[in-house]
């Protein structure tokens, strides 16, 4: 087989491309100077031939793709363009998670109900204790003992930036622990579902089914008007969102509640700088920005998480697909098959460089976010938190 491509062929393709773009005078001047015999070509010939060349180049660069796919790598669908270098993710096979890569912390006598990992790992359990696990030393135990000297199951807790802990228990008491891990105060609040500190640690919000409770340095007060509350989350130090059974609301410390969405939702979560709220309704994910309509993402999602990297969202689907979205441009930046089955959990490292996912296939994967490169994998049974 003999392949031939000369300057006359290229000039003819350029001439027809200029004509198709409406640049008649430029096309006439170009062909007169190139002195090429005119002949008819199919519309879009230049783009068609360039695209075929790109496809061939892509195939050549991915000759080894089958080998990587057999080792659990995601399909390489990084952007492939004519004038920029293609950064293929197939630079190394995934490595298994070895025993020396992780450690197991033991000590709780019952199920763990809640987990925090800002500086030290902190865990709460049905055994009636909160355990703080400083690296390299024995755990600090915060016992939750009821009035009749029995341990009361820890249902939830929140940690302020200053290290204060607010915990709620089965006995109906809200307990405050100072940053020296000493019990500071107890308040009877039997209806509490959850507690959340604002980012400055100056206000603690308590969530009940029909009330929002607020503790701050000036005292305690309640905010009423929304019923059947499921959860609440701070937008900033003075505003918060409330998820109820049939709506999502935005509420300010000194303002009335504003209805954002009036339909049943299962999740409502702010991005890292509090500018975008993600809401899930009927497996659809909508993104809301102040005074804008909600943008509904076109794919069904099982889980989502905002990245610490600005304006990036990660979603997981029911068939194991993982997508990275550019919130500003409203487009998928990267997409790949992460699990065999529904995505259950997504969690980022604080700098956004790595993301961990678990699925119904019982596997925990750790990915390098930029390349969607799998770096660690481990078989797990059931992960409560990540």
The answer, yes or no, to whether residue 13 has pLDDT greater than 90, is: no
Tokens representing residue 235 in the block: 């937008």
In sequence order, what are the beta bridge partners of 321?
337
pTM of the model: 0.72
In a domain, 272, yes or no: yes
Cα separation of 280 and 276, whole Å?
13
| Per-residue pLDDT, 129 | 95
Where residue 286 sits, what CATH number does that domain have? 2.130.10.10
Where does the pLDDT of residue 357 fall: very low under 50, low under 70, confident under 90, or very high at 90 and above? Answer: very high
In a domain, 12, yes or no: no
In a domain, 135, yes or no: no
In a domain, 140, yes or no: no
Higher local confidence (pLDDT), 214 or 376: 214
Where does the pLDDT of residue 71 fall: very low under 50, low under 70, confident under 90, or very high at 90 and above? Answer: low
Percent of the chain at pLDDT exceeding 70 = 88
In a domain, 273, yes or no: yes
The answer, yes or no, to whether residue 109 has pLDDT greater than 70, is: yes
CB 99 within 8 A of CB 93: no
In a domain, 368, yes or no: yes
Contacts of 19 (CB under 8 A, 6+ apart): 27
CB 18 within 8 A of CB 27: yes
Tokens representing residue 152 in the block: 């009361």
Q: Residue 286: which of 257, 307, 310, 266 has the closest Cα? A: 266
| Per-residue pLDDT, 91 | 43
Q: Each residue of 73-99: pLDDT tens digit?
A: 666 666 677 776 665 554 444 455 666
Q: Each residue of 43-59: pLDDT tens digit?
A: 888 788 877 877 777 77
Domains of the chain: total:
1
CB 367 within 8 A of CB 374: yes
The answer, yes or no, to whether residue 66 has pLDDT greater than 70, is: no
Tokens representing residue 149 in the block: 């000297």
Higher local confidence (pLDDT), 315 or 37: 315
With H, G, I as helix, E, B as strand and everything else as coil, classify residue 313. Answer: strand
The total number of residues shown for the chain amounts to 386
In a domain, 196, yes or no: no
Q: Tell me the helices (H) and strands (E) count for the chain, helix number first.
A: 4, 28
Average pLDDT, the chain: 85
Residue 303: which domain range?
266-385
| Per-residue pLDDT, 61 | 65
The Cβ-side half-sphere exposure at 294, using a 13 Å CA radius, reads 19
| Per-residue pLDDT, 92 | 47
In a domain, 31, yes or no: no
């Amino acid at each position: 087989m003999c392949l031939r491509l000369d300057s006359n062929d290229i000039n003819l393709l350029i001439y027809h491309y200029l004509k198709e773009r409406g640049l008649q005078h430029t096309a006439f001047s170009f062909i007169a100077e190139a002195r090429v015999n005119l002949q008819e070509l199919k519309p879009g010939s230049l783009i068609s031939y360039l695209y075929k060349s790109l496809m061939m180049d892509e195939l050549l660069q991915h000759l080894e793709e089958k080998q990587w796919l057999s080792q659990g790598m995601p399909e390489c669908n990084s952007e492939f363009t004519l004038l920029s270098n293609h950064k293929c993710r197939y630079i190394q096979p995934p490595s298994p998670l070895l025993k020396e890569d992780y450690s197991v912390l033991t000590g709780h006598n019952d199920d763990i109900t809640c987990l925090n990992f800002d500086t030290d790992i902190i865990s709460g359990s049905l055994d009636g204790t909160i355990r703080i696990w400083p690296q390299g030393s024995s755990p600090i135990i915060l016992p939750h003992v009821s009035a009749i000297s029995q341990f009361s199951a820890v249902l939830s807790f929140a940690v302020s930036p200053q290290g204060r802990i607010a915990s709620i228990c089965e006995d109906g008491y809200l307990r405050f622990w100072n940053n020296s891990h000493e019990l500071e105060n107890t308040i009877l609040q039997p209806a509490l579902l959850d507690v959340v500190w604002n980012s400055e640690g100056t206000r603690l919000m308590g969530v009940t089914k029909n009330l929002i409770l607020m503790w701050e340095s000036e005292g305690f007060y309640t905010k009423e008007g929304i019923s059947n509350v499921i959860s609440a989350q701070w937008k900033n130090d003075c505003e918060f969102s409330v998820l109820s059974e049939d709506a999502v609301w935005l509420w300010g410390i000194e303002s009335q509640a504003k209805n954002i969405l009036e339909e049943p939702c299962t999740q409502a979560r702010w991005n890292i700088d509090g500018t975008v709220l993600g809401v899930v309704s009927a497996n659809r994910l909508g993104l809301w920005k102040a005074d804008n309509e909600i943008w509904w993402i076109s794919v069904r999602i099982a889980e989502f998480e905002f990245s610490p990297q600005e304006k990036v969202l990660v979603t997981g689907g029911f068939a194991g697909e993982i997508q990275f979205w550019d919130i500003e441009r409203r487009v998928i930046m990267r997409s790949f098959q992460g699990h065999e089955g529904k995505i259950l959990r997504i969690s980022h490292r604080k700098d956004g460089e790595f993301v961990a996912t678990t699925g119904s296939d019982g596997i925990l994967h750790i990915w390098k976010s930029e390349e969607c490169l799998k770096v660690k994998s481990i078989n797990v049974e059931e992960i409560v938190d990540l």
